[in-house]
């Protein structure tokens, strides 16, 4: 059975993907009979220098498509971002509509001026989008709805980068202030109205698996940063002597083990499982 795989948040630059990681990814996809890989954003911070060569490499082995995440947008102008948005692809007996998405602060109950000040601490301060965040979301919704009106929704899969429902926002007091920049509830409302069966998204580096809300099946299995990977968290848990302060700070935990030869061997052994856990697979005939 041929499959479509959707992954997100590979962050190949931060995660230092080299030949070994790329080979394991290709091998894993081939073993799963994946004929098409879609990447739902945050491939890297360097779209032209890092992501495009990576995508070309993958395309020697299977079909690859993508939509942009906020990290991919670094250094791109609005026309380049627009040119990559809303791609419609026939993949076996399913149809994939991929778009970037954005955020409109609807996941935050904070005051508007505080949200704007907080944005100066967020990665996206480095992006140069020409419209307000609300205007960007309105435009995404407008184009999306015009497409949904014409498509056979029963076989449709949507892929986007940003978070479409507040169920998938963060509760931790350290991260909750940044919910404003995760996505918009307006996407979910549109999906329900058009009875969309499957939506895959990423952005918030937390894996929820598959969760159905009001008839929409959401799939969230971002890879995220190496410090967040199961294999890293498991290794530190299994080797408490390497973490004498018993910290749960993921950066600190990763720094304690990242050059440890036992960790590197463990990573090599478990990387395929990490990839498999970070793929949403659809049988496409």
Question: Any idea what the Cα angle at residue 63 is, between residues 60 and 67, rounded to 5°?
Answer: 120
The residue (of 41 and 257) whose beta carbon lies closer to Mn ion is 41
- The alpha carbon torsion through 53, 59, 24, 85 (nearest 10 deg) reads 70
Match 């998204």 to its residue by tokens. 201
Question: In this chain, which of 51, 70, 95, 232 binds Mn ion, going by CB under 5 A?
Answer: 70
Residue 105 beta carbon to Mn ion: minimum distance, rounded to whole angstroms = 16
Between strands 87-91 and 94-98, the pairing is antiparallel
The residue (of 178 and 254) whose beta carbon lies closer to Mn ion is 178
Contact between 222 and Mn ion per CB under 5 A? no
Number of Cβ within a 10 Å radius of residue 172: 6
Question: Any idea what the Cα angle at residue 214 is, between residues 212 and 218, rounded to 5°?
Answer: 30
Residue 70 beta carbon to Mn ion: minimum distance, rounded to whole angstroms = 5
Match 């659809």 to its residue by tokens. 282
Question: For residues 49 and 15, is the Cβ–Cβ distance under 8 A?
Answer: no
The residue (of 67 and 70) whose beta carbon lies closer to Mn ion is 70
- Kindly state the tokens that stand for 128: 């140069």
Residue 17 beta carbon to Mn ion: minimum distance, rounded to whole angstroms = 17
The residue (of 183 and 196) whose beta carbon lies closer to Mn ion is 183
Residue 255 beta carbon to Mn ion: minimum distance, rounded to whole angstroms = 22
* Chain Cα centroid distance, residue 156: 19
Question: In this chain, which of 203, 221, 227, 267 binds Mn ion, going by CB under 5 A?
Answer: 203
Contact between 274 and Mn ion per CB under 5 A? no
Residue 136 beta carbon to Mn ion: minimum distance, rounded to whole angstroms = 15
The residue (of 8 and 95) whose beta carbon lies closer to Mn ion is 8
Binders of Mn ion among residues 15 to 54 (CB under 5 A) are 42
Residue 192 beta carbon to Mn ion: minimum distance, rounded to whole angstroms = 24
Question: In this chain, which of 45, 47, 65, 69 binds Mn ion, going by CB under 5 A?
Answer: 69
The residue (of 164 and 236) whose beta carbon lies closer to Mn ion is 164
Match 């490499």 to its residue by tokens. 57
Applying CB under 5 A, the span of 67-75, 81-89, 152-160, 192-200 interacting with Mn ion comes to 67-75
- Kindly state the tokens that stand for 265: 């061997």
Residue 42 beta carbon to Mn ion: minimum distance, rounded to whole angstroms = 4
Please, what sign has the CA dihedral across residues 177, 179, 180, 186? negative
The residue (of 178 and 191) whose beta carbon lies closer to Mn ion is 178
Number of Cβ within a 10 Å radius of residue 137: 22
- Kindly state the tokens that stand for 249: 């700070």
Residue ranges in 85-217 assigned as alpha helix (H): 112-119, 133-148, 185-193
Residues that bind Mn ion (CB under 5 A): 42, 69-70, 203
């Amino acid at each position: 059975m041929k499959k479509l795989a959707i992954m997100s948040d590979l962050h190949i630059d931060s995660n230092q993907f080299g030949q070994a990681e790329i080979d394991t990814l290709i091998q894993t996809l081939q073993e799963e009979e994946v004929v098409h890989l879609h990447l739902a954003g945050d491939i890297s911070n360097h779209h032209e220098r890092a992501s495009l060569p990576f995508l070309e490499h993958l395309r020697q082995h299977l079909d690859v498509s993508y939509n942009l995440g906020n990290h991919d947008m670094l250094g791109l102008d609005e026309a380049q971002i627009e040119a990559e948005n809303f791609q419609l692809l026939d993949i076996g007996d399913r149809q994939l509509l991929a778009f970037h998405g954005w955020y409109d602060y609807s996941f935050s109950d904070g005051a508007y001026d505080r949200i704007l000040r907080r944005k100066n601490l967020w990665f996206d301060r480095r992006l140069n989008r020409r419209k307000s965040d609300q205007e960007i979301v309105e435009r995404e919704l407008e184009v999306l709805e015009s497409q949904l009106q014409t498509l056979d929704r029963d076989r449709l899969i949507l892929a986007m980068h940003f978070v479409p429902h507040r169920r998938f926002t963060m509760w931790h007091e350290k991260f909750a202030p940044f919910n404003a920049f995760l996505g918009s509830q307006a996407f979910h409302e549109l999906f329900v109205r058009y009875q969309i069966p499957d939506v895959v998204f990423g952005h918030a580096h937390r894996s929820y698996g598959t969760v159905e809300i009001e008839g929409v099946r959401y799939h969230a299995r971002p890879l995220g940063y190496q410090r967040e990977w199961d294999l890293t968290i498991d290794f530190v848990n299994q080797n408490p002597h390497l973490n004498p302060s018993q910290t749960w700070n993921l950066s600190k935990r990763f720094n304690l083990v990242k050059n440890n030869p036992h960790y590197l061997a463990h990573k090599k052994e478990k990387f395929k499982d990490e990839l498999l856990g970070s793929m949403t697979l659809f049988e496409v005939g």
